[in-house]
Amino acid sequence: MQVWPGQTYPLGATYDGAGTNFAVFSEAAERVELCLLHDDGSETAIELRESDAFVRHAFLPGVMPGQRYGFRVHGPYDPVQGHRCNSAKLLLDPYAKAMSGRVDWDEAVYGYRFGKPETRNDLDSAPHTMASVVINPFFDWANDRPPRVDYHRTVLYEAHVKGLTMTHPGLPPEIRGTYAALAHPAVIEHLVELGVTALELMPVHQFVTDHRLVDAGLSNYWGYNTIGFFAPHNAYASMGDRGQQVLEFKTAVRALHTAGIEVILDVVYNHTAEGNHLGPTLSFRGLDNASYYRLEQDQRYYTDTTGTGNSLLMRSPHALQMIMDSLRYWVTDMHVDGFRFDLAATLARQFHEVDRLSSFFDLVQQDPVVSQVKLIAEPWDVGEGGYQVGNFPPLWAEWNGKYRDTVRDLWRGEQARLAEFGSRLTGSSDLYQDDGRRPLASINFVTCHDGFTLRDLVSYNDKHNEANGEDNRDGESFNRSWNCGTEGPTDDPAVLELRGRQMRNIIATLMLSQGVPMLSHGDEFGRTQVGNNNAYCQDSELTWVPWPEPGEDGPDAEATRILEFTRTMVWLRRDHPVFRRRRFFHGRPVEGTGDELSDISWFTPEGEAMTQRDWQAAQARSVVVFLNGHAISEPGARGERITDDSFLLMFNAAPQELDFVVPVDHGKEWQVVVDTARPDGVPPGTGREVGAGDRLRLADRSLTVLRRPA
């Protein structure tokens, strides 16, 4: 076989039509072998003799897409000094664009199954591990263009590739649970009709199910256990895993873009699947342990701010380069539109403390590719000082955990939450305004993959995670939930009616709030996980979205009503810019609008202006909000002044029905457009007409929206 010197960049395996260039970094290695794997189980080892700046490289003419390969690294195995080279381990390429097979947790190979660390005498891991794959980078993108939906028009939809599509009756069985299913018209039609503008996919980077879950008959369903930051997860491909997963993912992105839907990836750059010092050597650990991982003073052990066993070393230029190369690859080659960063506070840990000016954020800020896409932080980790909501740099948006908690507390009846609710409803200026950010920095959500579903949030006081095999010890114990009087399933019509009302309250609140709303997949149908709030290991009907049969009658009638109400609220938001302002409210009339009314006003249920005493009253759970559609200060896309209808939002989170008075000086004629006390949440026809000074009786724990045409 011919072996040419090759190039140091790009790292990984790069096919150019005539052969493949291989390049891999390892400062610790004394010698690196590239192993070409054959279908009969044999391998051809080629020493990478060329080395520049610790990058070993070679070009192999004739090596085509579909070729499986790995690396063997010869070097020091000295955990006390942070080195774990072991030539018995066939290592995955950190830059592999695709990976084939799965990890076989064979006890003869992985001694740590019994709580013992690996040694240099371990058996060859090749038959038991995954392989890297050379891919064909060429793809017909046709006229694909990024939708580039502005944040103020964005509606996020968090979904799991398999969970969203596994039971869809309109999909051919052979593509359910795969990237191909995301490209199917039946799925895209649902997203378009729902009003979604961005599909936020739970991890699709190649991940591994660890041995503990395999032994228990479970799986790492969520996927937060990455081993390949460039490779689409092979189990989500319907056509094969020797590069077909790349083509299938690109096809899905192209189809979603055609429908105007952006694709945002939930990415896990804070740790890898290799775990702690007892974990397996799959890739990074065997290549250059000390360059990729944050180690304790005793370098046998790993610093863990993620709760998974290890953390990537964010002051290492090689770890940072890999992350930035990965991000650029997914934007330029895979055409994704943004990223949601799991446990993003760990990315800020340049040393020990969370540092908002760490190297990672500097690199993102100056990068001409990555800085131009949507960047969303999960602004916490499990380390000391890890809760950083509101503290990320101006380029970033954040999952607003304070919004989630406040909305949950209001509707479950907690006292003294009204003042903070006002802040969360209007974009959380207390978190984002001081550093120049706007309401759009707040990603508003009440439920997500982690925790109760929307239905479970109103059906359970306590978690019920027994199926996870940890005696219900796992998962969050303080969920800010309320079961409406009965724990779990019930036939009591009063409880069921209240739960439906509470779900409508939460959906409506989410869509009426300033910021960027995010729905969790299946909540639009009211799906349940039977009280499991940590279903990370459940790959079954427990976590798959149950697609209902449409119709007003029958067993799925309630799911259909929830879906229709969710659609109504999403489109109400999309149709009215007063709910998605790009700037914070001023709390006063806006100059140049010709309107003497404030852009926002707050009233008691009696129609009187709210006072400081009203806001601070512990028992206060009800408020009226006036949103002035004539006082939107920001210009439109062509510089024109934006005007809209005006709205009154009447929130009654009290446990009893209350009379609300329509304020007398903010419009004479109003129309009721939303009433969550109704089973469908929407008044029939054009809605009831009401006038200034009229009284409306709102049911306990309900929300009513009035509209005044512009």
Catalytic residue set: 342, 378
* d(C-alpha 628, C-alpha 646), whole Å: 5
Burial 41-68 (b: 16+ CB within 10 A, else e): eebeebebebeeeebbbbbbeebebbbb
DSSP for residue 547: P
Helix (H) or strand (E) holding 510: helix 493-512
The structure tokens 């952006």 sit at: 262
Residues 6+ apart with CB under 8 A from 641: 592, 593, 632, 635
Report the candidate in 403, 384, 397, 291 with the shortest Cα–Cα distance to residue 346: 384
**Backbone region of residue 291 per phi and psi (left: phi > 0; alpha: psi in -120 to 50; beta: other values):** alpha
Chain center to CA of 483: 26
For the chain, the maximum distance between any two Cα atoms, rounded to a whole number of angstroms, is: 88
What is the three-class DSSP state of 57? strand
The structure tokens 């003869």 sit at: 108
DSSP for residue 327: H
* d(C-alpha 622, C-alpha 594), whole Å: 31
Terminus-to-terminus CA distance in the chain, angstroms?
75
Alpha-carbon dihedral 519, 175, 259, 561, rounded to 10 degrees: -40
Note whether 670 and 708 are within 8 A (CB).
yes
Note whether 180 and 162 are within 8 A (CB).
no
* d(C-alpha 274, C-alpha 226), whole Å: 9
- Identity (one letter) of the amino acid at 650? M
Helices (H), 269-316: 284-292
Record the tokens describing residue 550, joined without a space. 């449409």
